Amino acid sequence: MSSRRPNHPAPRRLAAAATLLLLAACDRKAPGARPDSASLAMPLPAPGASPAADRSGWNAGAGPALLVAGAAVDDAVALFPFDDDSLDEERLDSISANGGTVTMFGRGGARFTARLGALPDESDAACEHWLLRDVQPEGSGAAWAVGFVDGRVTAVPLDSVEVLSPRDSSALAAEASRLASAVTAPTGVSFQGLRFTAHDIRRFQAAPGVSAFAAHLIRHVNQEANPQEEQTLIIAERDSGATTGPYQLVYAERAYGREEEVATPEVLAGVRLGGSAQPTLVVAQDGDAGVVYRFVERTGPKRWRARWASAPVQCN
């Protein structure tokens, strides 16, 4: 089997000194511990969830694995709740051996089923995860980003800002930059006061009547001998029922360092897991060790947290 690195995002290098900080979505009036802090305990296990899966932060509603698109349309990398997860791997093996189907999602909300092919005879030593072959949509499926075995997973369409008028697009980019400037996570002194460039903005409905967007913003320090880059990912919401007016910052994370070393985030898809009413964003973070895939979920009005992260995937 040829070894491949997943087909998103573009490879970047993560410096050991780069900082990745999470800004909790919290009620500013409550001075207590922030609910999105990675140090806080996860919720009680869902029925049927294994203790090991719960400790990893895995959402039982996601089923036994997250599938992410590989380098070819018929390749899927299987990511399990935790390392050495033999139980869930066996479950996926059984589904694959019986020609089971999986549900695939595109970033824009496309949803279709696909046939999960057999596992390869052996894994490539250079790749830390099995590549599942013959993941083909039934019918004329669109390009996919993530997949799940659990049929109760539903799509949360992420609309690109590019579909807006130039005026509305510019206004949303300005709003994203305003909120990014309010992020309190530390950054390098050289970035302070620099303008943000909106690399990608995706609008979605966080709940009925609640408009939200996720934005990836970048700042550069163009020093010839030592070019620096800052990457910021934010999520923002409006008040329920509001269709105009400012958004409020509800989640943020930031990394910075040398341009060729800093990690790059990409929001791959939005889903609701296991019948939940709350959306989860699947985010890829590309760094030196490979691509780490994460669930960033909404836990309530204006409250988000990073819940689960995969082991780094690198198939060079």
Last residue of a domain, one of 133, 151, 169: 151
Total domain count for the chain? 2
Confidence bin at 46 (pLDDT 50/70/90): very low
Judgement on whether residues 31 and 180 belong to the same structural domain of the protein: yes
**65 falls within a domain:** yes
**251 falls within a domain:** yes
Last residue of a domain, one of 134, 151, 168: 151
Whole-model pTM over 0.85: no
Digit-coded pLDDT (tens) for 117-168: 766 555 555 555 555 556 766 665 567 899 998 778 999 999 998 888 899 9
Q: Where are the alpha helices (DSSP H) in the chain?
A: 51-56, 86-97, 166-181
Q: How many residues does the chain have?
A: 316
Backbone angles phi, psi at 190, to 5 degrees: -70, -15
Query: Is residue 34 over pLDDT 60?
Result: no
Judgement on whether residues 26 and 114 belong to the same structural domain of the protein: no
Judgement on whether residues 118 and 100 belong to the same structural domain of the protein: yes
Residue closest to 129 by CA, chosen among 178, 79, 90? 79
Judgement on whether residues 171 and 207 belong to the same structural domain of the protein: yes
Secondary structure class of 97 (helix, strand, coil): helix
Last residue of a domain, one of 91, 126, 151: 151
**Beta bridge pairs of residue 292:** 285
Q: Which domain holds residue 83?
A: 51-151
**74 falls within a domain:** yes
**315 falls within a domain:** no
Residue 298, amino acid: R
Backbone angles phi, psi at 198, to 5 degrees: -80, 110
Digit-coded pLDDT (tens) for 261-303: 888 999 999 999 998 999 999 999 998 888 999 999 999 999 9
Digit-coded pLDDT (tens) for 68-122: 887 767 778 889 999 888 899 888 888 887 878 889 898 888 888 888 876 655 5
